[in-house]
Amino acid sequence: MAKAETFDEEYDVVVAGAGSAGCIVASRLTEDPSTTLCLLEAGGRDRNPWIHIPLGFGKIVPKARYNWGYATEPEPGLNGRSIVWPRGKVLGGSGSINGLVFLRGAPSDFDEWERLGAHGWGYKDVLPYFKKSEHNEPGANAWRGQGGPMHISDIKNPSIPARAFVETATRLQIPPNPDFNGEKIDGVGMVQLNVRKGRRVSTAVGYLKPNLSRRNLTLKTGAQALRILFDGKRAVGIEIEQNGQKRRIHARREVILSGGSINSPVLLLASGVGPADELKTMSVDVVHDLPGVGKNLQDHLLVRMVFKTKIPGTLNEVSRSWAQSARMAMDYALKQSGQLAVGATEATMFVKSRPSEPVPDLQFQCANFSTEGAFKAGLHDFPGFMFNFCVCRPHSRGEIRLRDSEGRFPPKIHANYMTHDEDWRMMVAGWGIAKQIVATEPFKSLVSEQYLPGPDVKSEDDFKDYVRNNASTVYHPCSTCRMGVDERAVTSPDLKVRGLEGLRVVDASVMPMVPSSNIHPATIMIAEKASDMIRQDWQK
């Protein structure tokens, strides 16, 4: 039990985590000058120039300074391989190191959230917050917004492979889709990026930095949250470690966890909130028995298809030539275009694994470079490009557990990829579609050799072995503090931690189900909607 006189500082609100959600919550809640707020970030400021150059994510992710460096435990569905899970440890969080592809997911995803118990989070409820958050450079309409902090732009000059991918898909009767954040996600086309004039727009850039001069907003970087402080069943603050010193920060109104799908459940567990039996085995004093903490973990698993090519201009080739790299840099500097202004992918496609599916359940992405998947391995040493595909809404579920009683060491992450038969059915269907693309013009003519999977992968069993030995994450972990109304839900639809007072979670961990595509835009929406909900609660 923490007494007020033992605190070093006090504010109305303490937010743990200055990532994609935390930057928004801090910015929105401090629009009221009478509300004092302390925003905590374990990492540092986002001053590295490569953070702000879209293609720079490949240089930033391998650096421990900006990345928590998580990895899964040996995965039973992937031949015991451990999968690396980069998560942002810097102002802006994972939104400062991700691939910048801005896809919300299918409208039906959010109606499914509501069906699963997230009342008030159906598509009609969340669409206004998607629109509020964005400045869509091509223009506003019924589905898109303008005037918001997040600049969303088109790719100026898509690469030859990306254009060929789209044309090939249309020849295979896949309908073109000019806006995947519009009425539906079905079809093929170019993605949008959260980029303004060639520079990344994270929520740190779009929301937080313009408001850091507010007297009621305090940002602490290099401040790692150690545990939530409770007075009975009420959260009253957070203990942090900064510059080797521990400090206790009091929250008069609320403590808000925005550490993301790994760090938020870990902080809850280390603070005594979670499955009581598990906590006792870790010698953690139980504050509140909440069985769902760390459970329901979901992520997208992708399979790469890599191609050697004779066409000029793939990033593999450009990056190995001083002259071509110089031209690429000049193009970026003068026009804010070219490969440096592009993120992880250019073209995408959403299709159904079988005609009876109500909405697409497979996503494909095409990029003008190729890699084995581990950032430290770098690009292939031959001119090449790739596309990948994944199951949009996997059925496999994982969990996160403490490795030590204080949560100091990286937690045990069990993604449990490909442990559900339905995921295998959809993945095999994706392989069938992939083979059609490779065999169809104009994509076919770009390929001088299919590098991965190799010629030995012929049968369905061969393909499954390829998945087990080569598949990797799309970096979309979520749902470990799921909102809902059942006994396994961690948060209620107002994002309050069930059974406790003064404590909410606002980040991707509250998603009942992973969206069909990326999770970054949906995380932004959650933070915008949560900020309104919190202010409305206070007014009551």
Rounded distance between C-alpha atoms, residue 7 and residue 23, angstroms? 24
Rounded distance between C-alpha atoms, residue 29 and residue 251, angstroms? 14
CB neighbour burial string for 400-434, b if at least 16 within 10 angstroms, e if fewer:
bbbbeeebeeebebbbbbbbbeebbebbebbbebb
Query: What is the amino acid identity at position 192?
Result: Q
CA angle 216, 222, 225 (to 5 degrees): 80
User: Three-state SS for 83?
Assistant: coil
* Sequence-distant (≥ 6) Cβ neighbours of residue 223 within 8 angstroms: 40, 41, 42, 240, 241, 242
Long-range Cβ contacts of 491-496 (<8 Å, 24+ apart): 493/117, 493/118, 493/119, 493/120, 493/121, 494/533, 494/537, 495/530, 495/533
Using the Cα atoms of residue 222, residue 377, residue 194 and residue 397 in order, give the sign of their dihedral. negative
Rounded distance between C-alpha atoms, residue 272 and residue 406, angstroms? 10
Whose CA is closest to 481, among 399, 417, 407?
399
Q: Which residue has the tokens 């169809």?
A: 440
DSSP 239-257: EEEETTEEEEEEEEEEEEE
Rounded distance between C-alpha atoms, residue 146 and residue 149, angstroms? 9
Strands 245-257 and 234-242: antiparallel
Q: How far is CA 440 from CA 168, 359, 399, 539, in A?
A: 6, 25, 41, 60
Rounded distance between C-alpha atoms, residue 211 and residue 296, angstroms? 35
Query: What is the amino acid identity at position 221?
Result: T
Residues recognised as catalytic:
476
Using the Cα atoms of residue 470, residue 265, residue 253 and residue 250 in order, give the sign of their dihedral. negative
Q: Which residue has the tokens 């490969």?
A: 339
Rounded distance between C-alpha atoms, residue 278 and residue 104, angstroms? 35
* Tokens found for residue 353: 């694994």
Long-range Cβ contacts of 354-357 (<8 Å, 24+ apart): 354/429
